[in-house]
């Protein structure tokens, strides 16, 4: 018997497992294939300001709280695991290639400023002062000093060590069926038929979160896969590498470049509604390289190390789904879409607190799974 079974060993599931075990619970973490987690593909941008969209004020507030808590989270984690997660606080330069891109970004940054974000407007030559490798064609941009980055793969390794040290038991198995009686969770059954008895299950399985049987349809959160393809590149030691994360808008299409301390540069990413399809397409790679080169011409000199595709868990409002819904003891921590690395520490801590009977942290109040129930009931699902 475990106090809690957490399904999904990506950044969200691992952080929730670690925090819950730290709080004294016995925790089992269940995942058959953590290699497919969106976290393994993610670039690791911690960017509540430069990834903001209209109508996302509550998400912006959550992202800001999460971003402020990151230094302490990383320090604690690295102290326990001894693994450097390459947390870099050098800021993000968000740039526009043409006039239309500039107008579009200006509107978003005006909206961000209304939400209280601190950003610095840059002329084209200021952008190149911050990043000398940027093309002279870059029209202008914004410096966001508080948008940072982390290496999600290092973060995963670090969390695995910390979770293990806190006593989390790991099972390589796929969660197949939820068991409940009298509207209370009693356990979860694996694909091979083992039943794990527990009265609390947290589903943190990204876009696969809805695939577990035995969950009432009305409790299933509306998450869907949003495919992101990206490239991992490597710079020789004498290459004039970017200092900041560069996020750009190129003829209306976003592209980003995320440099790491070890010479890796992540170039991403597409955003595709293709269902559960993780195939790499030449069109995506061609477009990413073409657009990145318009901003940062030196990019094509780099070694191509890896091409990957991940499935982000998208939700109808691009925001996470965190809280209890369904039979008593069934918890959800999914729908983190583009913000899994940023929000994992906050979500993990919120889940651990709520499992202990604590209140929902204020910054998560807008992200309960119940917010979709009225729409779902109208649609009869
Ligand atoms: N946050 C970057 C991405 O989702 O591609």
Residue 227 near ligand 1, beta carbon < 6 Å: no
Residue 130 near ligand 1, beta carbon < 6 Å: no
Q: Which atom of ligand 1 is nearest to the CA of 43?
A: 2
Q: Which of 165, 220, 136, 145 lies closest to 27, judged by CA?
A: 165
Give the residue whose CA is nearest to atom 2 of ligand 1.
338
Q: Which atom of ligand 1 is nearest to the CA of 271?
A: 5
- pLDDT of residue 33 exceeding 90: no
Q: What's the average model confidence in pLDDT over 174-198? A: 97
Q: Which of 316, 315, 320 lies closest to 336, judged by CA?
A: 320
How many angstroms separate the alpha carbon of residue 232 from the centre of ligand 1?
14
What pLDDT is attached to residue 91? 97
Tell me the pLDDT band of 381, cut-offs 50, 70 and 90.
Answer: very low
Residue 255 near ligand 1, beta carbon < 6 Å: no
Residue 77 near ligand 1, beta carbon < 6 Å: no
Least confident piece of the model among 30-39, 229-238, 243-252: 30-39
Q: What's the average model confidence in pLDDT over 231-249? A: 95
What pLDDT is attached to residue 376? 52
Question: Pairing between strand 303-314 and 224-234?
Answer: antiparallel
Give the residue whose CA is nearest to atom 5 of ligand 1.
269
How many angstroms separate the alpha carbon of residue 173 from the centre of ligand 1?
28
How many angstroms separate the alpha carbon of residue 24 from the centre of ligand 1?
33
Q: In sequence order, what are the beta bridge partners of 245?
A: 92
Residue 175 near ligand 1, beta carbon < 6 Å: no
What pLDDT is attached to residue 262? 95
Dump pLDDT digits (tens) for 255-287.
999 999 999 999 999 999 999 999 999 999 999
Q: What's the average model confidence in pLDDT over 305-325? A: 97
Cβ neighbours around 356 below 10 Å, total? 11
Q: Which atom of ligand 1 is nearest to the CA of 45?
A: 1
- pLDDT of residue 244 exceeding 90: yes
What pLDDT is attached to residue 364? 97
Q: What letter would DSSP give residue 28?
A: E
**Sign of the alpha-carbon dihedral angle for 346, 352, 355, 356:** negative
Tell me the pLDDT band of 94, cut-offs 50, 70 and 90.
Answer: very high
Tell me the pLDDT band of 35, cut-offs 50, 70 and 90.
Answer: confident
Length of the chain, in residues: 381
pTM here is 0.95
- pLDDT of residue 378 exceeding 70: no
- Provide the Cα torsion 179, 38, 48, 111; round to 10°: -90
- Tell me the average pLDDT of the chain: 96
Q: Which of 8, 118, 10, 55 lies closest to 339, judged by CA?
A: 10
Give the residue whose CA is nearest to atom 3 of ligand 1.
338
Q: How far apart are the first and last CA of the chain?
A: 33
- pLDDT of residue 375 exceeding 80: no
Residue 298 near ligand 1, beta carbon < 6 Å: no
CA distance 128 to 140: 9
């Amino acid at each position: 018997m475990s106090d809690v079974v957490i399904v999904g060993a990506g950044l969200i599931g691992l952080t929730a497992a670690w925090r819950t075990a730290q709080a004294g619970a016995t925790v089992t973490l269940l995942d058959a294939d953590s290699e497919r987690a969106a976290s393994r593909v993610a670039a690791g941008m911690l960017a509540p300001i430069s990834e903001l969209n209209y109508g996302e004020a509550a998400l912006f507030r959550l992202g800001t709280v999460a971003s402020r808590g990151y230094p302490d989270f990383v320090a604690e984690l690295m102290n326990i695991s001894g693994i450097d997660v390459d947390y870099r606080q050098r800021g993000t330069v968000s740039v526009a290639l043409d006039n239309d891109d500039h107008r579009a970004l200006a509107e978003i940054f005006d909206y961000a400023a209304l939400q209280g974000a601190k950003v610095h407007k840059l002329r084209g030559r200021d952008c190149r002062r911050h990043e000398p490798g940027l093309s002279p064609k870059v029209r202008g941009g914004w410096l966001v000093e508080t948008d940072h980055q982390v290496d999600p793969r290092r973060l995963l390794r670090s969390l695995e060590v910390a979770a293990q040290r806190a006593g989390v038991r790991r099972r390589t198995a796929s969660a197949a069926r939820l068991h409940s009686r009298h509207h209370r969770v009693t356990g979860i059954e694996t694909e091979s038929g083992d039943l794990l008895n527990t009265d609390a299950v947290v589903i943190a399985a990204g876009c696969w979160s809805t695939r577990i049987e035995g969950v009432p349809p009305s409790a299933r959160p509306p998450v869907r896969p949003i495919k992101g393809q990206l490239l991992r590149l490597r710079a020789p030691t004498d290459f004039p590498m970017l200092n900041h994360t560069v996020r750009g808008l190129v003829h209306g299409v976003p592209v980003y470049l995320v440099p790491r301390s070890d010479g890796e540069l992540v170039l991403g990413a597409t955003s595709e509604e293709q269902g559960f399809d993780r195939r790499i397409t030449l069109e995506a790679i061609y477009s990413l390289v073409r657009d990145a080169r318009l901003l940062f011409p030196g990019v094509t000199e780099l070694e191509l190390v890896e091409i990957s595709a991940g499935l982000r868990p998208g939700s109808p409002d691009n925001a996470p789904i965190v809280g209890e819904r369904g039979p008593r003891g069934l918890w959800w921590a999914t729908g983190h879409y583009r913000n899994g690395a940023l929000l994992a520490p906050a979500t993990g801590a919120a889940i651990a607190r709520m499992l202990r009977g604590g209140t929902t942290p204020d910054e998560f109040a807008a992200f309960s799974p119940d917010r979709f129930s009225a729409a779902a009931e109208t649609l009869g699902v």
